[in-house]
Homo-oligomer: A and B are copies of this chain.
Amino acid sequence: MASVVMQLLGCDVAALNTVHFSNHTGYRQFKGTRATADEITALYEGLTQSNLLDFDVMLSGYAPSAAAVEAVGAIGMDLQRKAAKDPGSFFWILDPVMGDQGRLYVNDEVVPAYKNIIRYADLILPNQFEAEVLSGIKITSLATLADAITAIHATYNVPHVIITSVQIANLSDSPSPNTLTIIGSTTRSNGSPRLFRVDVPALDCYFSGTGDMFAALTVARFREAVFNADPALRTTQSWVSPDDVPATELPLAKSTVKVLASMHRVLEKTLEARDAELRAIIPDESEQLLSESERKKKEHLRESKAAEVRVVRHAQYLREPDVEFQASEWRAEDLPERFR
């Protein structure tokens, strides 16, 4: 998902696959292999020995063990070190894939492994649960959400954060329960967060790969927004805008709005295609002979396949999103008292 989305947006990608599976894990069964830390390191050594390290952006995502996270971290750190004398020439986007919905789906040792490398990243993309794990703050209100982001900026010295899914319906009087809220921030020089939010209509379906899709779109769109901003920003360490740039004018906010527009349209098209695919299924009489659990499994496989994101057929919505969302500034003091 990540490679193809970046490629469809015109990025040359050197993909270092940390797993090679037959299908995504949402199917609840798969076969394939996981890269070891040594294999990850060897691939990077291969790039190094042939002078193939001229990356503008690195996107790191799921890694299958703490050692693999460390190996990926060592790559990010080495690229940061090499770019140190040329600020803004390299940018690391790190998706700290650890869990969701209150539950870790990686080994416990993966958490400290991420905590050790995040300080070298420029932008991280945790979901709400991962933001809680990293900040140590349970997010129960908008105020605690702001606290968590502030803590992430401060603890890890990471200048940009996007929390890619917030269960805002549980926290405040959001426009509707069918709204998905994305919160981002670029830190100010005093360490305070510059928070923006974008609300998008939620679609009633589980799609696998949307985290990677968000991250990959952000690679292309954030870089583009930085290059369209004040030229000085390109050569500023970590592409951090001056303090007088308001939250809604941040390149990160502009990027996020475009990213979400692309995602919304592609997922909407996927939902239409999924519904058509499921409607077209002719019940197979032999299924009557299956046990209840076998029938359920078959149905789950069918539904998982039908919900595969239709990304290549809708590449035009990646390149030219045709919907508009808005970023709004977000200050705890604007909120109803109970959510401050």
Binding site for B on A (CB under 8 A): 3-4, 7-8, 10-13, 17, 20-23, 27, 29-33, 35, 39, 42-47, 49-52, 298, 301-302, 304-305, 308, 310, 312-313, 315
Contacts and interface: CB of A to CB of B under 8 A. Distances in A.
Contacts of A45: 22, 31
A97 to B, nearest CB: 20
A51 B312 contact: no
Contact of A22 (B3, B10, B52): B52
A43 B22 contact: yes
B46 A30 contact: yes
A298 B21 CA distance: 36
B43 A20 contact: yes
A13 B305 CA distance: 14
The 9 lowest CB-CB distance pairs between A and B, nearest first, are A22-B46, A31-B46, A31-B42, A22-B43, A7-B312, A27-B50, A22-B47, A4-B7, A50-B301
Contact of A8 (B7, B13, B22, B43): B7
Given A17-B20, A20-B20, A51-B305, 19 more contacts: A7-B7, A7-B8, A8-B315, A10-B313, A10-B315, A12-B312, A22-B44, A22-B45, A22-B47, A23-B50, A27-B50, A30-B50, A31-B42, A32-B46, A50-B301, A50-B304, A50-B305, A51-B301, A52-B305
B31 A43 contact: yes
Contacts of A32: 39, 42-43, 46
B49 A29 contact: yes
A301 B13 CA distance: 18
Nearest to A15: B20
Contacts of A49: 29, 31
Nearest to A21: B46
B47 A23 contact: yes
A168 to B, nearest CB: 33
A257 to B, nearest CB: 24
Contacts of A21: 43, 46
Contact of A11 (B13, B47, B302, B312): B312
A42 B34 CA distance: 13
Nearest to A310: B12
A44 B21 CA distance: 10
A271 to B, nearest CB: 17
B33 A50 contact: no
Nearest to A43: B22
24 contacts: A3-B4, A4-B4, A7-B312, A8-B312, A8-B315, A10-B313, A12-B310, A13-B312, A20-B20, A20-B39, A22-B42, A22-B44, A22-B47, A22-B50, A22-B52, A29-B49, A31-B46, A32-B39, A32-B46, A33-B39, A50-B305, A51-B301, A51-B305, A52-B305
